[in-house]
Amino acid sequence: MLDTEQQAARDWFEALRTRICAEFEAIEREAGSDAAFNYLSWWREADGQPAGPIEEGGAGGGVRGVMKGKVFEKVGVNVSTVGGAFSPEFARTIHGAGDEAPGFFATGISLVAHMANPHVPAVHMNTRMLVTTKRWFGGGADLNPPIPYAEDTADFHAAFRAACEAHEAGDYPRFSKWAEDYFYIPHRQVHRGVGGIFYDHLEGEFDATFAFTRAVGEAFLDVFPRIVRRRMNMPWTPEEEAHLLEWRGRYVEFNLVHDRGTLFGLKTGGNIDAILMSLPPRVTWA
């Protein structure tokens, strides 16, 4: 059975998924598209645990949601709730886990949107709660525009600055710098986008840290649809589309080489299609 904190976090992430998907589908309707999310449930496979809900003693699982439309060329919104034991080697890399206590519980939401219009920025957002011998929250959001606009960048950062400043657990200068450092591609010597916030291992009193994590989700749901609607009807040229496809290559390189969330999913027996839903449908390399 899940404890009250685990259940509250799970319920919130799943409710946020539902609201985000509804908003993205509404944007498609405004563009004259009937695109909708397709959902696929999956169960995690783990040695010594049956496939099934974690509250029934299973290894847990999730729901992968993907939509391909007129505005959102491909967007994935996943939720998952899983538990079990890390491999000994991987446990040593996880906060609060190790050889003597490899057990874990994790629940969260993960989102990546690749847009059809080069003037509309791609985006990533995730928030999660993870429990080992410790309990913490992590996540954030970052904007990835092929063609940056100062107004969009300012609005995106302002939304997350406000979320941070409204909560003692928030630290915008630290979390913004963390995103700048984390979403950097060393072998290209470029940042993946124009930043946002990133935080991890946020321990402390549950109500406070959970409230901040909810604020991050609310900030995303407020600001990103506004940016999409601002740009989605702008015309674009073949040259701008070519730039979009090449820029997506940077996103692919980061996620497959450096992203910790991708590694976590692969190391814990997650659904491969859900883990790799972050990859764009089209991409080029020069």
Active site residues: 124
- How far CA 83 is from CA of 16, 47, 65, in Å, comes to 21, 12, 21
58: number of Cβ within 10 Å: 18
Nearest residue to 71 via CA among 23, 125, 33: 33
Closest alpha carbon to 179 in 189, 193, 166: 193
73 contacts 281 by C-beta, under 8 angstroms: yes
Q: Give the helix, strand, coil percentages of the chain, each rounded to 5.
A: 45, 25, 30
67 forms bridges with which residues in the sheet? 75
| Dihedral Cα 161, 163, 164, 169, nearest 10 deg | -170
Of 98, 114, 134, 115, nearest to 31 (Cα)? 115
The size of the chain, in residues, is 286
Which structure tokens are listed for 45?
């496979």
> Is-contact 130 103, C-beta < 8 A?
no
